[in-house]
Chain A
Amino acid sequence: MKLLALFWIFFRLGLVSFGSVFAVLPELQRALVDQGLVTPEGFVQAFVLGQVVPGPNMAMCTVIGWHVAGLAGAVVAFVGIYSGPVAIMGAAYAVYHRWRKVTWVRRLELAVRPVVLGLLGASAVSLLWTAAGTQRLLALGVAIVVGALALRARLGALALLFVGGVAWSLGRALL
Chain B
Amino acid sequence: MTSPRPVPSVADWLRVNVAIGTLSFGSASRIVLYEDAVVRDRGWVTTEEFAEVITVAQLLPGPNLVNLSAYLGYRLVGPVGAVAGILCLCLPGAVLAVVLSGVLALDHPWVQAPLRGMAVAGIVLLFLFLWRRLPGLASTADPATPARVRVRLARAGLMAGVAAAILLGVSLFVVLAVALPVALLLEFTL
Contacts and interface: CB of A to CB of B under 8 A. Distances in A.
Interface residues on A, range: 35 or more
A157 B29 contact: yes
Interface stretch (A1-9, A29-37, A141-149): A141-149
B63 A21 contact: yes
Interface residues of B, number: 100
A156 to B, nearest CB: 8
Given A100-B52, A114-B158, A164-B26, 8 more contacts: A54-B93, A82-B62, A110-B141, A110-B187, A115-B162, A126-B166, A165-B117, A172-B109
A69 to B, nearest CB: 12
28 contacts: A14-B62, A52-B25, A52-B106, A53-B25, A54-B20, A54-B93, A55-B65, A55-B92, A82-B90, A86-B86, A88-B62, A92-B56, A97-B75, A108-B184, A111-B188, A114-B137, A115-B179, A115-B180, A117-B133, A117-B134, A120-B126, A120-B133, A160-B124, A160-B125, A161-B29, A168-B114, A168-B118, A172-B113
B84 to A, nearest CB: 11
Given A51-B27, A56-B66, A56-B90, A165 B162 contact: no
Contacts of A76: none
B139 A119 contact: no
B83 to A, nearest CB: 7
B14 interface: no
Contacts of A56: 30, 63, 65-66, 89-90, 93
B1 interface: no
B7 interface: no
Contacts of A132: 120
A59 B90 contact: yes
Contacts of B125: 150, 157, 160-161
A113 B121 contact: no
A112 interface: yes
Contacts of B180: 112, 115
A162 B113 CA distance: 12
Contacts of A114: 137, 155-156, 158-159, 162, 183
B118 A111 contact: no
Given A54-B24, A89-B71, A111-B183, A17 B61 contact: yes
Contacts of A51: 27, 119
